Amino acid sequence: MPYPVLRLKPKKEVSLSRRHPWIFSGALSGKPDGLAEGDKVYVADARGYILATGHYGTGSIAVRILDFEETLIDAAFYESKLTKARLLREVLGLPDADTTGYRLVHGEGDSLPGLIIDIYAEHAAVQCHSAGTERDFPLIEEALRRIFGSELRTITGKRADGEKTAVNHSEADAPERTEFREYGHRFFSDTAKGQKTGFFLDQRENRQLIKRHAKGRKVLNAFCYTGGFSVYALAAGAREVHSLDSSKRATELAADHVAENCSDTSRHRILTRDALKYLGSDSARDEAYDLLILDPPAFAKHRSARHAAIQAYKRLNARAFSIAAPKSIVFTFSCSQVVTPELFYSTVAAAAMESGRHIRILHRLHQPADHPVSIYHPEGAYLKGLVVFVE
């Protein structure tokens, strides 16, 4: 038997029968001596019957399930999983001539907890959110090579904290920025120093929706990061676009993207400011924005921070609603997994009441199809958004 066996307490196998991919530490009856973070393990019921295979963790999530049976986790295993993930993207029409950046693996949504793989044209950016996937990086890289062959020039790996997972033979050739296309627009993924894998692919369809509403409007893209929404708004004929972020590096990337995609950049302005403070200022009110985009980073990554996050979302939206010109449109988002869609919507409603404006919902938004959610793991639906009309 290649892996240690972790036994569950009686009746704690119910979550496995429902195919939920996490085993919490409280469900275990004990663990073998010498078990280390990231080790591959079998999970057995109280009688010793093996039910699943996964990666062991020392936190509250004790096991991330990779397969709901006894199996061997090797390059062939990852090749099978990644092949299935690629087939789904092909069903979605990804990639195509106009869009060469997409998510190949979305953790639990592709039955690979702790693993994210984004494809940027000829480059694969792997992000490991667990010690197990980090230790398996060489197997993952080998599987990618087998599946994609010469289609991939470079593969790089990062841990969730941004550090490299390993120094591998392809990393030396990887450029700091990797060019790709999204709906015909040219972007660069800052894979070396950027957040996550270097670009937020999860807003692709929501950026496309901006084109329906931006023409002739004055746009504030708050928390702009690399300026994706700004590029789409300018392409749609926005009267003026302000890209706002507290990070100088982010606003420099936003400016680069606008310059790359727009022959006339005179309608674009960079604001390196704190978004919440700016939205509460008279100068923001005087701009009379009539399309505002609020796409902040996760205000809460753990349940303990959820209350503070809700208050932050409320303040942010209330200030945006207060300064918005009459007949404005606001795109507002939360990527905090612990903030449910219902909680987010009620928070936006509370902000609307505080602002005293009459507001109507035009669209309810979520992550795109290449960021799939397993029906057995609803926690994977992390991105939620609203498009509202402010009278």
Task: State the DSSP string of 199-262.
Answer: S-GGGHHHHHHHHHH-TT-EEEEET-TTTHHHHHHHHTT-SEEEEE-S-HHHHHHHHHHHHHH-
3-class secondary structure, 26: helix
Q: Residue 78 and residue 82: Cα distance in Å, rounded?
A: 6
For residue 165, the model assigns a pLDDT of 58
Q: Residue 257 and residue 221: Cα distance in Å, rounded?
A: 14
For residue 31, the model assigns a pLDDT of 87
* Other CB atoms within 10 A of residue 91 CB: 9
Q: Which domains, ranges and CATH numbers included, belong to the chain?
A: 5-67 (2.30.130.10), 75-189 (3.30.750.80), 201-390 (3.40.50.150)
Q: Residue 333 and residue 335: Cα distance in Å, rounded?
A: 7
Whole-angstrom CA distances from 168 to 116, 157, 248, 312 are: 18, 9, 31, 41
For residue 160, the model assigns a pLDDT of 76
Q: Which two tokens stand for residue 308?
A: 């503070």
Integer-rounded Cα radius of gyration of the chain: 22
Q: Which two tokens stand for residue 265?
A: 């950049």
Q: Give the helix/strand (H/E) hosting 141.
A: helix 137-148
| Cβ atoms 55, 133 nearer than 8 A | yes
The catalytic residues are 335
Q: Residue 31 and residue 10: Cα distance in Å, rounded?
A: 15
Amino acid at 271: L
Q: Residue 86 and residue 90: Cα distance in Å, rounded?
A: 6
**Residue pLDDT tens, the chain, 391 long:** 699 999 999 999 999 999 999 999 999 998 899 999 999 999 999 999 999 999 999 999 999 999 999 999 999 999 999 999 999 999 999 999 999 999 999 999 999 999 999 999 999 999 999 999 999 999 999 999 999 999 999 999 988 776 665 544 445 556 678 999 999 999 999 877 777 888 999 999 999 999 999 999 999 999 999 999 999 999 999 999 999 999 999 999 999 999 999 999 999 999 999 999 999 999 999 999 999 999 999 886 787 888 888 999 999 999 999 999 999 999 999 999 889 999 999 999 999 999 999 999 999 999 999 999 999 999 999 999 999 999 9
Q: Which two tokens stand for residue 90?
A: 């092909």
Q: Residue 299 and residue 81: Cα distance in Å, rounded?
A: 32
* Other CB atoms within 10 A of residue 88 CB: 16
- Which among 221, 235, 205 has a CA at the least distance from the CA of 289? 221
* Other CB atoms within 10 A of residue 342 CB: 9
Q: What is the DSSP string of 296-314?
A: PPPS-SSGGGHHHHHHHHH
Whole-angstrom CA distances from 297 to 242, 332, 334 are: 18, 12, 8
3-class secondary structure, 346: helix
Q: Give the helix/strand (H/E) hosting 345.
A: helix 341-355
For residue 194, the model assigns a pLDDT of 74
For residue 169, the model assigns a pLDDT of 43
For residue 164, the model assigns a pLDDT of 62
3-class secondary structure, 271: strand
Q: Residue 204 and residue 200: Cα distance in Å, rounded?
A: 8
The 10 Å CB-count burial string (b at 16+, else e) for 126-154 is bbbbbbbbbbbbebbbbbbbebbeeebeb
Q: Which two tokens stand for residue 164?
A: 């490299």
